[in-house]
Amino acid sequence: MAEEFEPKIVAFLCKWCSSAGSDLAGVSRMEYPPNVVPIQVMCSGSVSPLYIFSAFNKGADGVLVSGCHPGDCHYIKGNYYARRRIHLVKKLLEFVGLEPERFQMSWVSAAEGTKYTQVIKEFVNELKPLGPQNKLRRNP
């Protein structure tokens, strides 16, 4: 039998909440799929849409942007900007026919190690049936 497809996820995690949340999951030895390439960013609001397009271009099967819950942003408003911008990016990607499951956003606080693992588990499960992302990737 063919080996099961393991999707590669690029996750842009904000330093103050989501990245800390993923650390918490790590130090608490919570189990979750090893499919994520985490990239720590200062704020979800600092994630340029170009990073997202580029991740798909370089072969990501899924991309996650994760930040602090509304009201909790270290920079007060960064995640609100992100919410708008990411929403537009999501609509654009879907418009050209990319599977909506491939691009996700989440709010994960520093205390939500469990939620982080949950987000990743669900993401991986949703990506598996889709197979590799070849639409936007360079040299598929």
Alpha-carbon gap, residue 120 to 67, rounded angstroms? 14
Buried/exposed 53-80: b ≥16 CB within 10 Å, e otherwise: eebbeebbbbbbbbbbeeeebeeeebbe
Closer residue to another protein in complex, CB, 16/123: 123
Smallest separation, CB 31 to another protein (Å)? 19
Smallest separation, CB 1 to another protein (Å)? 27
Closer residue to another protein in complex, CB, 4/73: 73
Closer residue to another protein in complex, CB, 20/120: 120
Residues 6+ apart with CB under 8 A from 34: none
For another protein, the binding residues (CB under 8 A) are 49-50, 53-54, 57, 70, 77, 80-81, 83-85, 87-99, 104-107, 119, 122, 135-140
